[in-house]
């Protein structure tokens, strides 16, 4: 038996909950970007060091 949902069953998150979710998402995005850029820099630095050692 399927029951129709009433409007009162759909809870709209408060503005502070919504803001906390957006802040968490931005924090994860920025953290991921920093980790990615650090990994790329580490890989490039290792590649440059290897190239310098081969020239010697």
State the DSSP string of the chain: ---PPPGGGSPPPPHHHHHHHHHHHHHHHHHHHHHHHHHHHHHHHHHHHHHHHHH-
In whole angstroms, give the CA distance from residue 56 to residue 45.
17
Q: What per-residue confidence (pLDDT) applies to 35?
A: 98
Q: What per-residue confidence (pLDDT) applies to 16?
A: 92
Opening angle at CA 19, ends 13 and 21, nearest 5: 80
Q: What per-residue confidence (pLDDT) applies to 36?
A: 98
Q: What per-residue confidence (pLDDT) applies to 1?
A: 56
pLDDT in tens, the chain (56 residues): 566 666 667 777 899 999 999 999 999 999 999 999 999 999 999 998 888 888 76
Q: What per-residue confidence (pLDDT) applies to 44?
A: 94
Residue 23 neighbours by CB under 8 Å, 6+ apart = none
């Amino acid at each position: 038996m399927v029951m129709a949902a009433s409007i009162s069953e759909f809870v709209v998150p408060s503005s502070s909950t919504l803001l906390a979710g957006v802040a968490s998402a931005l924090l994860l995005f920025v953290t991921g970007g920093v980790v990615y850029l650090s990994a790329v820099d580490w890989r490039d630095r290792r590649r440059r060091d290897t190239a310098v050692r081969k020239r010697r």
